Structure 1
Amino acid sequence: MSRHVILGKGPIGRTLAGLLATTGHDVLVLSRSGAPTPAHRRAGRSTGPGTITHAAIDGTDGRALTASAAGAEALYNCVNPPYHRWATDWPPVAEALLQAAEATGAPLVIAGNLYSYGAGTYPMREDSPLASTETKGVVRAAMWREAQARHRAGRLRATEVRGSDYLGPEAEQHAHAGPRMLDPLLAGRRLAPIGSADQPHSWTYLPDFACALASAATEPAAWGHAWHAPTPEPLTYRELATRFAEAAGAPRPRIAPVPMWLVRLIGVGQPMLREIHRIGYQFTEPFVLDSTRSQQVLGLAPTPWPTIIAETLAAR
């Protein structure tokens, strides 16, 4: 049994905490409030000997993070600030985590995403250039480059696991394939995805994301590099919605995509949609990752689509 420390209690953080506790580890989850949400209590139920505890912390406080991570087997960055605050909120949190990893010697495992590759990267692989010119992608690329530079300098151990849009039992309302899709789908109402419903898209299952983070934490071959969470074959939004409908016995999906010009118009008054418009290519062109290499290194395979759909529906 070992001790793991997670900063962030969103869908990725709480799925990871539940996995680690179930496999016998003690987990400390750090957040601003220090209180578990009802969803975290559900995800954190453990059938193994591990425990999950919560504590409040300022994620920009390197000293506090260092004290919390002392003696930890691994330190995980599962934070996700609001889209419109990435440029201001991410840098101090990332720096504090690097300080804690350097001071404690705990490997830093970063829950990443695909934004840093930028438009036109198809398929996205771990060695694809971090070519994004969009603010959020630039921020995430800078975070990883700094972590990797310090790793190569021997100051700390770091790795990053990148996933695509996630889905699964713990997905929240903002997830494109979460309740935002499933609630109207199962009620027979019209779906309104952003951009297009017919472009191939990778969807990462939250439990697979968590497994990859946990594996990367203890696999020395993973340190110093970025990896893709094991992800099954891509599906268009329409294909995914249809599979969910068929499995649930719901009516065939009625889909009316929201055009990007309208997203831009609404985004004038809504910061979240304004930021979504800036990464509109993710919804209007193929957005596909290749996780072949990481599956080999981490010894993992993606959960098959029938299981993903069945488990997601069963958790509702």
Structure 2
Amino acid sequence: MRLHTILGAKGTITTQLLPVLQQHGEKIRLVSRNPTPVAGAETRAADFLNAEQTRLAVDGSTIVYLLVGLEYSANVWRRDWPVIMRNVIAACKAASAQLIFLDSLYTYGRVAGAITENTPPRPVSEKGRILVEIEQLLLAEMNSGRLSAIIAKASDFYGPGAVEKSWSGSLVFSRLKNKQTPQWPVNARVPRTYTYTPDIGRALYVLAQHPEAFNQTWILPVASPTLTGQEFSALAAKYMQGSGKVQVLPKWVFGLMGLFIPFMKEAHEMMYQDENGYVLDSTRFNQTFNFTPTPYEEGIRATAEWFLKN
């Protein structure tokens, strides 16, 4: 039986991938610094900055999912991401395991039109430049044939349980639950792709099942057409009996708040994604694997129900 190992056992996407693996009767290992026991899954503790601990965490694996979430800080990313990527690459090569790396869109920078697998990396942020560098580490191994791997790209996400590191969770669903007006960064009148977290979990498993999918970059499934911030917030309000209006937070607000709140300082450089629209095109994935992304209304309804209950 194949062993599926998840590096980053406590993240939002792990909570969506785990039940998919369980439903298919897969053998599962969950790895983090302090993993929580889960029925039917093995757990191991490891610091991915430590090469030997990472090697032991991956040993015996068939498929490895790199879902590690670091502190949202360019300084931390610059310090830790290259080390983690090198350690994970070495561990996967030692175990003859295949690697699936869940990556963001920061590598693309400002893009006119929809982002596809053919969009070239042109980062305009420090975090984007760091991710390009670690992608290059992985691509070098993939292109040389030394490692079988996938770079899977997802947008900012929304979904049940997506509270931390999710603008939609903190600014839309959480505020509606508290009977407050939803907020949106910079511009609510342009299309802005959000990826539904259960779709990410399903899509990662689909990739793991297809040997021909490896040694490529994939845009993970997103619903179409892309909603504007106003449309997204209005749908959330519909299912949470809240205000259909949305309060737009100007870019300068993030700059000002960044003087006092480290997260806002780090988020300020990413505001370009919300200024003129940011759209993903997952046609290649959808057609290749006959995958139907969850429509926005269905996903927003399920997310609203989760927030109302929790």
Please report the TM-score for the alignment, with normalisation by the length of structure 2: 0.92
Aligned letter for 2:46? I
CA–CA distance in 1 between the matches of 2:249 and 2:171? 14
Alignment partner of 2:236 out of 233, 244, 249: 244
Aligned letter for 2:212? A
CA–CA distance in 1 between the matches of 2:161 and 2:139? 30
The residue aligned with 1:48 is none
Kindly indicate whether residue 275 of structure 2 is the aligned counterpart of residue 284 of structure 1.
yes
Query: 1:181: how far off?
Result: 1.4
CA–CA distance in 2 between the matches of 1:298 and 1:113? 21
5 Å-filtered alignment, 1:143-182, equals 143-182=134-173
**Contact (CA 8 Å) 1:209, 1:230: kept in 2 or not?**
yes
CA–CA distance in 2 between the matches of 1:244 and 1:255? 11
The residue aligned with 1:57 is 46
The residue aligned with 1:232 is 223
Residue segments in structure 1 that go unaligned for 5+ positions in a row: 46-50
Question: Relative to structure 1, is the Cα distance of residues 132 and 299 closer, same or farther in structure 2, using a 3 angstrom cutoff?
Answer: same
The residue aligned with 2:62 is 73
**Contact (CA 8 Å) 1:168, 1:311: kept in 2 or not?**
yes
CA–CA distance in 1 between the matches of 2:302 and 2:233? 15
Query: 1:75: how far off?
Result: 0.5
Aligned letter for 1:27? I
Alignment partner of 1:122 out of 107, 113, 119: 113
The residue aligned with 2:291 is 300
Query: 1:315: how far off?
Result: 2.6
CA–CA distance in 1 between the matches of 2:35 and 2:171? 27
Q: Deviations over 1:104-124 (max 9, x none)?
A: 111110011111000134211
Query: 1:204: how far off?
Result: 0.4
**Contact (CA 8 Å) 1:86, 1:136: kept in 2 or not?**
yes
Secondary structure (helix, strand or coil) at the match of 1:257 reads: strand
Runs (4+) off by over 3 Å: none
Aligned letter for 1:54? T
Residue segments in structure 2 that go unaligned for 5+ positions in a row: none
Query: 1:72: how far off?
Result: 1.7
Question: Relative to structure 1, is the Cα distance of residues 83 and 122 closer, same or farther in structure 2, using a 3 angstrom cutoff?
Answer: farther
RMSD: 1.8
Question: Relative to structure 1, is the Cα distance of residues 222 and 163 closer, same or farther in structure 2, using a 3 angstrom cutoff?
Answer: same
Secondary structure (helix, strand or coil) at the match of 1:315 reads: helix
Query: 1:239: how far off?
Result: 0.5
5 Å-filtered alignment, 1:129-148, equals 129-148=120-139
CA–CA distance in 2 between the matches of 1:217 and 1:157? 11
Q: Deviations over 1:152-207 (max 9, x none)?
A: 11111110111111111120233111244112224431223221222201110111
Kindly indicate whether residue 101 of structure 2 is the aligned counterpart of residue 110 of structure 1.
yes
CA–CA distance in 2 between the matches of 1:184 and 1:125? 32
Secondary structure (helix, strand or coil) at the match of 2:167 reads: coil
**Contact (CA 8 Å) 1:3, 1:27: kept in 2 or not?**
yes
Secondary structure (helix, strand or coil) at the match of 2:107 reads: helix
The residue aligned with 1:2 is 2
CA–CA distance in 2 between the matches of 1:292 and 1:261? 35
CA–CA distance in 1 between the matches of 2:305 and 2:242? 18
Question: Relative to structure 1, is the Cα distance of residues 14 and 54 closer, same or farther in structure 2, using a 3 angstrom cutoff?
Answer: farther
Kindly indicate whether residue 261 of structure 2 is the aligned counterpart of residue 270 of structure 1.
yes
**Contact (CA 8 Å) 1:202, 1:288: kept in 2 or not?**
yes
**Contact (CA 8 Å) 2:153, 2:218: kept in 1 or not?**
yes
Aligned letter for 2:86? E
**Contact (CA 8 Å) 2:220, 2:285: kept in 1 or not?**
yes
- How many equivalent pairs are there? 303
CA–CA distance in 1 between the matches of 2:72 and 2:168? 18
Alignment partner of 2:87 out of 85, 88, 96: 96
Secondary structure (helix, strand or coil) at the match of 1:54 reads: strand
**Contact (CA 8 Å) 1:161, 1:212: kept in 2 or not?**
no
Aligned letter for 1:280? M
CA–CA distance in 1 between the matches of 2:268 and 2:173? 23
**Contact (CA 8 Å) 2:195, 2:222: kept in 1 or not?**
yes
